[in-house]
Amino acid sequence: MYNKLFYPAIFHEAEEGGFWISFPDFPECLTEGDNTEQAYKMAIEALGLTITDKIHNKEEIPTPSKLESIPLENDCYMAIIEFDMLDYNRKHNSKAVKKTISIPGWL
């Protein structure tokens, strides 16, 4: 498994302002943001959740689509989202459990 993965994301301009983001390679992965910066950060988080869920469920991680094969509608922009597995795990799995702690009912 690679530590860094790169996937195309489509930023759709929302009628109410901001963006909603979709991933051609992960149709179930959608997110939104009020501005470009927030939308990009949310895209990284959404992609991270989707990829780690697939890994946890032992599902295949798709190969990123070729950019030229992705059609864009009006008011849409494409960006490459970098997902760093090590960085994501550091942020989201930072809860260390001491092995000396005994929890009733747990082995």
Cα–Cα distance measured from residue 40 to residue 72, given in angstroms and rounded to the nearest whole number? 18
Q: Rounded to an integer, what distance in angstroms lies between the CA atom of residue 59 and that of residue 36?
A: 31
Q: Return the domain boundaries, the chain.
A: 4-92
Q: H helices of the chain, where?
A: 36-56, 85-92
Question: What are 68-84's pLDDT values in tens digits?
Answer: 999 999 889 999 999 88
Q: Under CATH, which number does the domain 4-92 receive?
A: 3.30.160.250
Query: With bands split at pLDDT 50, 70 and 90, how would you rate the model's confidence at 105?
Result: very low
5 vs 38: CA distance, rounded Å: 20
User: Tokens 């260390």 correspond to what residue?
Assistant: 96
**Quick check: 94 and 19 in contact, CB under 8 A?**
no
List pLDDT tens digits, range 3-32: 889 999 999 999 999 999 999 999 999 999
